[in-house]
């Protein structure tokens, strides 16, 4: 019998022993949070909410008394900015997790269902409208759009769900060592023999942002149709697809486009390709930071027809259970560049190819600003409603 006890003791730690430190941790957090609440209640005159305004110094003082801000970000620049926060405001703690857009969605949903409200702030592109349509409408997350930041944001970004911070665009990236001029000026160029087996991009089935670009082309199929005529001098003949947008995607993939598992790898491949086999990638402009950081020979064509691309805007949301309101507000103000747009929190984002949504932040002039680029408008709602159809289309033509 004693032996049996021994065996069950060995199994037990799994069930209970490991659980112990969890509950301890949880109760620690609970007391932590409870004490914050008490403080806020007992001090009603300075009660803080997402609707009040405080100066940065006031927020800092309040935040020092609060617990940790938990931040989920889908961009690595967001991760760096998050990590830099603790140096900028000693005494205020932040915990940063970098996970993909759909995983943030998944986690928030799970956390809400389980009552373990870990996250305070989330930052990402919102998986083609699913954050806004599922997390926001179910009140798992909330919008926090402080006036002091919003007044520097123009239309259409102003009306987006969430607090927009940066945009990136998915367009054609080429090797600037091999070509003095961009070797293409129209999206339809990629469907010609010249580019057969020379176009790389992340597998669109697992890349919501590339699907976003494709859906925009479908939505603006009239633009795509005109661009085709401009390029080839004759009207397009559809080969079993619905419109010129779908037709482009089909012909692009039929041109032996090469799919990879990581977007970063596609851009690296362009930078490293040989002159006698110069490839292009359809990828995010954020990788243009390599031009300054790694001296990479990559560039984009800002005169691409019919449009360069569509912006993919990363937005901040807060969850519906934020306890450390002052710290959260301070953190968001820091990330967005502070009240006057000169805050160092934005430094991590300030790279070529990452575009500030705020109109008062000075950026490198390597690429024109968001307002100057010839872009389609981002339509999250359209993405949300059409993503299943795009997904099925991509499967069918595979």
Partner 1 sequence: MQKYVTRFCKKISNPMVILTIAILAFLIYTIILPLIEILVTTLMDVNGTEGFSLEGWKSIFASDISQALLYSPMTQTFQIGIFVSIISLVLGSLLAWIVVRTDLKYKKTISFFLVLPYMLPSWFNAFVWLIVFKNDRIGGQTGLVQAIFNISPPDWLSYGAVPIILSLSAHYYIFAFLLVGAALSSINSDVEESATILGAKTWGILRKITFPLVIPAVVSAFILIFSKSIGSFGVPALLGLPVRYYTLSTMIYSNISTGQQVTGYILSLVLIVSAIVVIWMNQKVISRRNYMTISGKGSKQKLISLGKWRIPTTIAIWLFIFCLSILPVLLLGIQTLLLRDGVYSLDNLTLHYWIGQSDPTIGNGIQGVFRNSRILSAFKNTVVVSFFAALIAAIIGLVIGYLITRNKEKWQFRLMDQLSYLPILIPSIAFSAIYLSMFAKPGVFLPSLYGTISILILITVVSELPLTTRTGTSSMIQISNELEEAGSVLGASWITRFRRIIMPLSKKGLLNGFILVFISAMKELDLLIMLVTPKTMTLTTYTFDLQEQGYTQTANAVVLIIVISIILVYTLVTIFGKIDITKGVSK
Residues 240-279 binding partner 1 (CB under 8 A) are 258-262, 264-266, 268-274, 277, 279
> Candidates 99-107, 228-236, 302-310, 363-371 — which segment interacts with partner 1 by CB under 8 A?
99-107
Token duo for residue 60: 């800092």
> Candidates 102-110, 140-148, 177-185, 323-331 — which segment interacts with partner 1 by CB under 8 A?
102-110
Q: How far apart are CA 91 and CA 11, in angstroms?
A: 41
Is 106 a residue that touches partner 1 (CB under 8 A)?
A: yes
Between 145 and 198, CB nearer to partner 1? 198
Q: Of residues 203-242, which lie at the interface with partner 1 (CB under 8 A)?
A: 203, 205-208, 211
Exposure class string for 339-361: b at 16+ Cβ within 10 A, else e = eebebebbebbbbbbbbbbbeeb
Angle between the 244-254 and 221-232 helix axes, to the nearest 10 degrees? 60
Q: Of residues 339-398, which lie at the interface with partner 1 (CB under 8 A)?
A: 388, 391-392, 395-396, 398
CB 243 to partner 1: min, Å: 18
CB 353 to partner 1: min, Å: 13
CB 105 to partner 1: min, Å: 6
Residue 34's CB: how many other CB atoms inside 10 A?
12
Is 95 a residue that touches partner 1 (CB under 8 A)?
A: yes
Residues 6 or more apart whose CB falls under 8 angstroms from that of 106 comprise none
Task: By CB under 8 A, name the one of 59, 73, 84, 127 that touches partner 1.
Answer: 127
> Candidates 21-29, 154-162, 164-172, 369-377 — which segment interacts with partner 1 by CB under 8 A?
21-29
- CA 269, 274, 280, 284 dihedral sign is positive
Closest CA to 285 of 269, 298, 273: 298
Task: By CB under 8 A, name the one of 33, 64, 93, 98 that touches partner 1.
Answer: 98
The residues with which 212 forms a beta bridge, in sequence order, are none
Is 321 a residue that touches partner 1 (CB under 8 A)?
A: no
Q: Of residues 272-311, which lie at the interface with partner 1 (CB under 8 A)?
A: 272-274, 277, 279, 281, 290, 293-294
Q: DSSP string of 193-239? A: GGGTT-EEEE-GGG-HHHHHHHHHHHHTHHHHHHHHHHHHSS----S
| Total site size for partner 1, rule CB under 8 A | 75
């Amino acid at each position: 019998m004693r032996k049996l006890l021994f065996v069950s003791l060995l199994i037990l730690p799994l069930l209970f022993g490991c659980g112990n430190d969890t509950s301890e941790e949880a109760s620690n957090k609970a007391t932590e949070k409870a004490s914050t609440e008490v403080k806020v209640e007992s001090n009603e005159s300075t009660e803080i909410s997402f609707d009040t305004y405080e100066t940065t110094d006031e927020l800092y003082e309040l935040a020092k008394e609060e617990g940790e801000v938990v931040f989920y970000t889908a961009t690595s620049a967001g991760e760096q900015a998050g990590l830099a926060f603790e140096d900028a405001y000693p005494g205020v703690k932040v915990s940063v997790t970098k996970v993909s857009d759909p995983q943030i969605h998944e986690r928030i949903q799970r956390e809400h269902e389980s009552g373990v409200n870990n996250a305070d702030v989330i930052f990402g592109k919102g998986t083609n409208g699913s954050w806004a349509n599922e997390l926001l409408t179910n009140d798992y997350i909330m919008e926090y759009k402080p006036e002091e930041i919003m007044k520097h944001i123009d239309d259409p970004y102003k009306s987006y769900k969430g607090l927009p911070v940066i945009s990136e665009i998915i367009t054609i990236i080429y090797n600037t060592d091999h070509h003095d001029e961009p070797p293409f000026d129209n999206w339809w160029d990629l469907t010609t023999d010249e580019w057969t087996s020379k176009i790389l991009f992340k597998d669109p089935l697992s890349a919501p942002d590339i699907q976003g670009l494709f859906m925009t082309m479908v939505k603006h199929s009239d633009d795509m149709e005109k661009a085709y005529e401009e390029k080839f001098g004759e009207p397009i003949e559809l080969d079993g697809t619905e419109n010129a947008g779908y037709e482009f995607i089909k012909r692009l993939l039929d041109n032996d486009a090469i799919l990879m598992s990581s977007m970063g790898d596609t851009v690296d491949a362009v930078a490293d390709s040989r002159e006698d086999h110069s490839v292009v990638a359809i990828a995010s402009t954020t990788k243009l930071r390599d031009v300054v950081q790694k001296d990479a020979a990559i560039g984009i064509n800002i005169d691409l027809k019919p449009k360069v691309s569509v912006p993919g805007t990363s937005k901040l949301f807060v969850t519906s259970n934020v306890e450390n309101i002052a710290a959260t507000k301070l953190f968001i103000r820091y990330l967005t560049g502070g009240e006057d747009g000169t805050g160092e929190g934005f430094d991590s984002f300030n790279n070529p190819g990452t575009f500030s949504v705020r109109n008062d932040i000075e950026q490198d002039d390597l690429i024109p600003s968001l307002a100057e680029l010839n872009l389609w408008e981002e339509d999250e709602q359209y993405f949300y409603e059409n993503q299943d159809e795009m997904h099925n289309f991509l499967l069918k033509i595979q």
